[in-house]
């Protein structure tokens, strides 16, 4: 596809099919996504429909469901219906297979199955047993442009092989007297040897290497649309067939002396083929982000085969694509994790920076989750796979990026409207240019000295008309937005920011008010011990040894936070003997726990527990408790033998980057509001810490939605940052919903943007990336529109009367070819995007 007229034509053809609900065709990625009713229509109809519009199509996938896979039969280009039926019946008889759909023409098989029962490894074995070979088709790869690149390169070089001698015959040999006399040998009347050679060479270029433009123009006109191919075909045909007319007149007349333009059409086609080749090269670089993401997945994995008792019998190297759910895989140091799973045994550090952006390696123990594509660094891990194939976090990230690249930003709609009327306008402009110059020449409105020696009035006018046809470039307009969106979404993914579409990318930099949830967004989302105040002679280690002995029997989140703090304090070791010695354990709901340990009564809980057990609180203790309440923390009092031994402060700690993020948003003119379901005291204290002035506390999910709608009704563009689960109604209601803290759950339907790293500074990065992207898109449009605004009058000859400047059609064609390449290269500049410098400065301040 060359421009938006092509993609619109294919999109329209697909949407007209009965049973199709929606079709999206992306120019930059050259892919179509069709939402349809499978009971009414098949994907084969879509492929035929695309073929009817003049383009080639092949199936990528038939569903977003993870339990559908596509297999490709190998060894032959076509298969008989009997062979395909044999494979289909063999697969349908396999346990766990729900449905099998085959295409004997393409040798493809689509299998629907239960991933808990079977998987692709079993299907390949079944196909192998019936005497065929098959491979798994991956639908996540970026478009393979190698064939198209090779084709354009091949055609360009062959076109040059004919065009260069043609150019020499027309422009060089005519000025060498010896050669000129040879090529001016007359064959019939005024028809010379040079004219014959030029006609033969030009015909080969016009109809062999320029065939694709004829085909594209025919298909476009057949469906009632116009595209770049129409302009190219008109321009080259005008030059070629006028030259044919000149040749026929020369062969039949003894006094006809007009010049032919065979070199014009050939050079036009050669330069346009070069431009398309360069454009495809540049387009390939826009999708490198997806290629890099896919490369994170290792090619092979080590599968552990287990015996009936769970003992390891053997190890086997298999393709990562053939891993099943619940397989046990071995990951040695230096190897990548092949799929998402849970550590069964082993302890190691895993580098997750390539997925989450977290720079420090993360420790992994038995029971911890690991993400496919991450790097095991220190020791051997045995992992039980939970998500494989298209279910993995990495696959979902790639899918999100591809979906974003498929979607159209609202700003692109204007370009589509312009492109729709662009070609008819250019054809009209070319016709008016030719008539104006030809009419002016016939009426003697300009001096005869303006006409080059080898031309007359008609030919000069024709040159101007052809130049107008071929210099106009709707391609640059069509590529201005999608190429920039492709690069930006890929760049965002590499930094842990998953942008779900062009509209989200466009709206983000327009946000005027950002609404924040508190728990899990501005705070860590889990209680943690902040300070410990002792009121006895016990050491900190002995104090926590007694407290944890009692708290170990509690399942309360605060108890777990205290246990975790004690474990870190004691380097991961508990005194199991003391835990076992606890007697008379009692848990009081809403208050705390108490028990007897080594003959001493130990109570750990809040003030109400102390009152319940008649444990006195001194004035000093009460002052400290009041201070803890003022800073919005939770107090846990520990008493030994009815005397307060210490007070532990527990809080959901504010993220270290929260205050700096709010401050930077304020500097950028973005208002910040906190809406939380927590109590007013805690909400106000957290708001003071981070610098938020407007707070809404004790809010239900619908209260958050109402606040966002109130802001929107007042004309404010609203962003929402939440955890993506409790805040999903608000994320949907906001103009831009950002889900933070997604971890491996990247498929959050409610959010427009997923911040993988759970870092609030990524909110700033998302806004800055949006600003930079749309500045680049504006620059692309300025160039694309500016090019056409200045190039069309220049090609029409407005400067010719003033300074004698005239663009030959082949120069105009070269300018047109390079204009779209320049737009793609402009978008590629976004690959050098770096996080805002202010974030680095904020990090330096925090360190200081």
Query: Residue 616 and residue 819: Cα distance in Å, rounded?
Result: 83
Contact residues for 628 (Cβ-Cβ < 8 A; gap 6+): 634, 635, 647, 649
Nearest 5°: phi and psi at 31? Answer: -130, 155
Q: Is the dihedral of CA 502, 503, 507, 508 positive or negative?
A: negative
Contact criterion met (CB below 8 Å) for 792 and 807: no
Decide: 657 and 760 in contact? Cβ < 8 Å: yes
Q: What are phi and psi of 3, to 5 degrees?
A: -150, 180
**Measured in Å, how far apart are the chain's first and last C-alpha atoms?**
54
**Angstrom distance (rounded) from CA 218 to CA 54:** 8
Strands 312-319 and 20-26, sheet pairing: unpaired
In a 3-state reduction of DSSP, which class is residue 673?
strand
Half-sphere exposure of 571 toward its Cβ, with a 13 Å CA cutoff? 0
Distance, in Å, from the CA atom of 495 to the CA atom of 397, rounded to the nearest integer, reads 12
Phi, psi for residue 274 in degrees, rounded to 5: -65, -45
Contacts of 206 (CB under 8 A, 6+ apart): 236, 237, 240, 265, 266, 269
Which H/E stretch holds residue 316? strand 312-319
Active site residue 144: no
Q: Which one from 517, 652, 727, 759 is the annotated catalytic residue?
A: 517
* Residue given tokens 């319940």 in the structure block: 612
**Cβ neighbours of 61 (radius 10 Å):** 18
Integer angstrom CA distances of residue 846 from 65, 173, 224, 359, 810? 45, 74, 62, 17, 60
Q: How far apart are CA 687 and CA 692, in angstroms?
A: 5
- The CA-based angle 778-403-339, given to 5 degrees, is 130
Q: Which two tokens stand for residue 535?
A: 């009121």
Residues contacting residue 749 through CB under 8 Å, at least 6 positions apart: 728
Q: 809 phi and psi, to 5 degrees?
A: -55, -35
Q: Where are the alpha helices (DSSP H) in 739-808?
A: 761-796, 800-803
Helix%, strand%, coil% for the chain, nearest 5: 50, 20, 30
Residue 697's CB is within 10 A of a number of other CB atoms, namely 19
Q: By the 8 A CB rule, do 412 and 393 touch?
A: no
Active site residues: 517
């Amino acid at each position: 596809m060359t421009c938006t007229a092509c993609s619109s034509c294919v999109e329209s053809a697909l949407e007209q099919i009965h049973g199709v609900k929606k079709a999206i065709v992306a120019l930059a990625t050259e892919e179509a996504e069709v939402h349809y009713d499978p009971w009414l229509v098949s994907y084969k109809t879509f492929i035929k429909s695309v073929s009817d519009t003049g383009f080639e199509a092949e199936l990528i996938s038939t569903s977003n469901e993870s339990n559908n896979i596509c297999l490709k039969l190998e060894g032959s280009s076509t298969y008989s219906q009997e062979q395909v039926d044999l494979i289909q019946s063999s697969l349908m008889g396999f346990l766990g297979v729900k449905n099998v759909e085959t295409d004997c023409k393409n040798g493809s098989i689509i299998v629907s199955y239960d991933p808990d029962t079977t998987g692709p490894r079993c299907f390949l074995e079944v196909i192998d047993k019936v005497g065929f070979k098959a491979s798994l088709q991956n639908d996540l790869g970026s478009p393979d442009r190698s064939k198209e690149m090779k084709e354009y390169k091949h055609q360009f070089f062959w076109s040059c092989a004919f065009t260069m001698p043609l150019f020499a015959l027309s422009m060089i040999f005519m000025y060498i007297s010896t050669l000129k006399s040879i090529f001016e040998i007359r064959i019939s009347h005024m028809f010379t040897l040079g004219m014959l050679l030029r006609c033969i060479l030009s015909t080969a270029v016009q109809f062999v290497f320029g065939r694709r433009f004829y085909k594209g123009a025919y298909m476009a006109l057949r469906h009632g649309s116009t595209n770049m191919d129409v302009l190219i075909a008109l321009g080259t045909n005008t030059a070629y067939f006028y030259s044919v007319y000149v040749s026929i007149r020369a062969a039949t007349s003894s006094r006809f002396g007009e010049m032919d333009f065979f070199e014009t059409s050939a050079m036009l086609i050669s330069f346009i083929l070069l431009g398309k080749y360069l454009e495809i090269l540049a387009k390939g670089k826009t999708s490198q982000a997806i290629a890099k993401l896919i490369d994170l997945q290792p090619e092979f994995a080590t599968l552990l085969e287990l015996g009936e008792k769970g003992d390891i019998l053997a190890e086997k190297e298999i393709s990562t694509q053939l891993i099943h759910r619940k397989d046990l895989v071995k990951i040695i140091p230096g190897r990548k994790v092949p799929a998402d799973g849970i550590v069964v045994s082993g302890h190691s550090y895993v580098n997750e920076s390539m997925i989450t952006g977290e720079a420090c390696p993360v420790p992994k123990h038995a029971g911890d989750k690991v993400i496919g594509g991450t790097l095991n660094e220190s020791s051997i891990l045995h992992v039980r796979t939970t998500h494989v194939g298209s279910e993995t976090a990495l696959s979902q990230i790639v899918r999100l990026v591809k979906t974003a690249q498929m979607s159209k930003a609202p700003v692109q709609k204007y370009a589509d409207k312009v492109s729709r009327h662009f070609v008819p306008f250019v054809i009209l402009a070319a016709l008016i240019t030719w008539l104006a110059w030809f009419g002016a020449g016939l009426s003697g409105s300009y001096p005869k000295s303006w006409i080059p020696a080898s031309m007359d009035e008609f030919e000069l006018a024709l040159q101007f008309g052809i130049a107008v046809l071929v210099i106009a470039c709707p391609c640059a307009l069509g590529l201005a937005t999608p190429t920039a969106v492709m690069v930006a979404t890929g760049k965002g993914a590499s930094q842990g920011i998953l942008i779900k579409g062009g509209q989200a990318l466009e709206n983000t930099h327009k946000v005027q008010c950002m609404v924040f949830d508190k728990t899990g967004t501005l705070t860590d989302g889990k209680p943690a011990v902040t300070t410990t105040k002792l009121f006895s002679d016990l050491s900190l280690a002995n104090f926590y040894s007694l407290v944890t002995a009692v708290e170990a029997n509690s399942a309360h989140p605060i108890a777990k936070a205290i246990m975790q703090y004690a474990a870190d304090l004691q380097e991961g070791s508990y005194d199991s003997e003391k835990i076992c010695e606890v007697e008379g354990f009692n848990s009081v709901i809403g208050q705390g726990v108490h028990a007897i340990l080594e003959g001493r009564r130990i109570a750990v809980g809040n003030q109400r527990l102390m009152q319940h057990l008649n444990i006195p609180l001194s004035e000093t203790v009460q002052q400290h408790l009041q201070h803890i309440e003022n800073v919005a923390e939770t107090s846990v009092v520990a008493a030994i033998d009815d005397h307060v031994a210490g007070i532990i402060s527990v809080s959901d700690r504010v993220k270290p980057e929260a205050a700096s993020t709010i401050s930077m948003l304020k500097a950028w003119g973005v208002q910040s509001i906190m809406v939380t379901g927590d109590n007013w005291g805690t909400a106000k204290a957290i708001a003071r810490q981070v610098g938020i002035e407007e707070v809404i506390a004790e809010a239900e999910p619908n209260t958050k939605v109402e606040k966002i709608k109130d802001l929107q009704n007042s004309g404010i563009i609203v962003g929402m940052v939440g955890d993506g689960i409790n805040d999903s109604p608000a994320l949907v209601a906001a103009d831009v919903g950002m889900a933070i803290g997604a971890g491996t759950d990247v498929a959050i339907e409610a959010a427009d943007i997923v911040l993988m790293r759970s870092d609030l500074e990524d909110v700033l990065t998302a806004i800055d990336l949006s600003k930079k992207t749309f500045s680049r898109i504006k620059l692309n449009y300025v160039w694309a529109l500016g090019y056409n605004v200045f190039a069309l009058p220049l090609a029409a000859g407005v400067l010719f009367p003033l300074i004698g400047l005239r663009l030959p059609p082949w120069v105009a064609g070269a300018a047109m070819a390079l204009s779209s390449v320049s737009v793609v290269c402009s978008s590629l500049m976004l690959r050098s995007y770096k996080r805002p410098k202010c974030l680095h400065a904020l990090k330096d301040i925090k360190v200081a």
